[in-house]
Amino acid sequence: MKLLLIEDDRSTASYVQQGLAELGHACDHAETGLDGLTAALTNPYDAIILDRNLPQLDGLSVLQALRSQGQTTPVLILSALGQVDDRIKGLEAGSDDYLTKPFSFGELMARIAAIVRRGSGTATATTTLQVGDLELDLLARAAKRGARRIELLNKEFQLLEYFMRHAGQVVTRTMLLEAAWDYSFDPGTNVIDVHVSRLRGKLEHGDEPPLLHTVRGAGYQLDAR
């Protein structure tokens, strides 16, 4: 992937760049909003990581300028402003995701992967999702694995839908929290873990091959390997 990082804090920027290089991704860096906007308009990127508080031109203005030029490159906002209002403002301005500082690199990577795939995916409305022999009917709100019907509680259904829409990707606990619950409060990661392990218990019976994998230090991944 080729990414653009617009961030005025050099140590954060170099930490992100090193991490991305480690994983084999190229990453350009712009220190001001204006430089970032110019770079984003002149080069093709797979995704843009955008800080909100930037010199010359703030992050939201950069984003609005990009979107008004018809640029649809996925944008992830990285900001210390983490209140619900701030997130809503960011998403309204046209960002695809919003990550609050301080963040872990695993979280950042998982979210970038998610928005890049979302951007390239087809936008047609689907009524059924399929991963391996697992099938989720969104209209009938029914799940089955092979021939076996799976009874799901409301939250489990929401979690599974999110996992299946992001099949093959690493999904962090925070992403799950945002997807299935109100992201205005964090009940602690172990609460999410318990819910995921319940879901896993329902998905994987007996000697069925595992579907829902734990990714150490990052989160979970639904994959029919």
Among 121, 187, 206, 209, binds another protein (CB under 8 A): 187
Q: Which of residues 78-97 bind another protein (CB under 8 A)?
A: 83-84
97 burial type by CB count under 10 A (0-12 exposed, 13-18 middle, 19+ buried): buried
Among 25, 39, 61, 181, binds another protein (CB under 8 A): 181
153: which 2 tokens? Answer: 């509680």
Q: How far is the CB of 188 from another protein (least distance, A)?
A: 7
DSSP states of 114-141 as a string?
HHHHHHHS-----SEEEETTEEEETTTT
- The partner residues of 107 in beta bridges, in order of sequence, read none
| Residue closer to another protein, measured from CB, 102 or 209 | 102
Using the rule CB under 8 A, is 154 a contact of another protein? Answer: yes
Among 198, 200, 202, 213, binds another protein (CB under 8 A): 198
Dihedral sign for Cα atoms in the order 195, 197, 199, 202: negative
Find the length of the chain: 225
**Which region among 71-79, 108-116, 118-126, 191-199 touches another protein (by CB under 8 A)?**
191-199
| Residue closer to another protein, measured from CB, 41 or 88 | 88
180: which 2 tokens? Answer: 């299935």
Which stretch of DSSP H or E encloses residue 99? Answer: strand 97-100
For another protein, the binding residues (CB under 8 A) are 83-84, 102, 153-155, 181-182, 184-188, 190-191, 194-195, 198
